[in-house]
Amino acid sequence: MKRHVMGSALAALGLLACVSTASAVDNEYAPVKQTADTVTVFIRGIDVKDGKETLRVDPIQWYEGKAVDEQFLKEEPDSGLDGAPDGYYIVNKDETLETVAVDPQATVLMQIYDRTGSLVDATTEWNQSIPLAKFNAIYRNNGVLDVSNYPYHLTMKGGKVVRIVQQFIP
């Protein structure tokens, strides 16, 4: 199944994020660098048992930059469009979940999340580092902003997630 539209609420939040960061001169988006150790996923659950944390993830293919329009036209030849309308494209042909272990010292970088319980304060701050325990709390608190709707780039080392980066949705 292909996922392209994340929902009107997410789009509205994306617009809010763009507006809220438009005046920040030094605050520019930069794509996450992909390496052989990087996998892009939707996080569908977080489990902590006996002090060990795992993520239930749905691996996806994330396209942006030069590759986005080529992939979009390959996947959506009858769309009537010349390219991906939003500058990114997600392909998710298999929604089988995988479980991955998380290193307790994993780095977490967020772009947008509920900081205060108010939608007005859910602004974009590029690559804001937060502790893993705070990420778990944010993930479970989806009243203002549901961060499970965002893709994440996971860096794997030694079979464990050592870095989690929330993907900004333009």
| Per-residue pLDDT reduced to its tens digit, 142-155 | 889 999 999 999 99
Query: 17 with 27: CB under 8 angstroms?
Result: no
Give the total number of structural domains in the chain: 1
Domain enclosing residue 37, as ranges: 2-166
Per-residue model confidence (pLDDT) at position 27: 67
pLDDT mean over 121-134: 93
Per-residue model confidence (pLDDT) at position 5: 37
| Per-residue pLDDT reduced to its tens digit, 70-108 | 999 999 999 999 999 999 999 999 999 999 999 999 999
- 170 pLDDT tier (thresholds 50, 70, 90): confident
For the residues of 99-146, what is the DSSP string, one character each?
EEEEEEEEEEEESS--SSS-GGG----TTEEE-HHHHHHHHH--SS--
Residue 7, pLDDT > 70, answer no
Report phi then psi at 136, rounded to 5: -60, -45
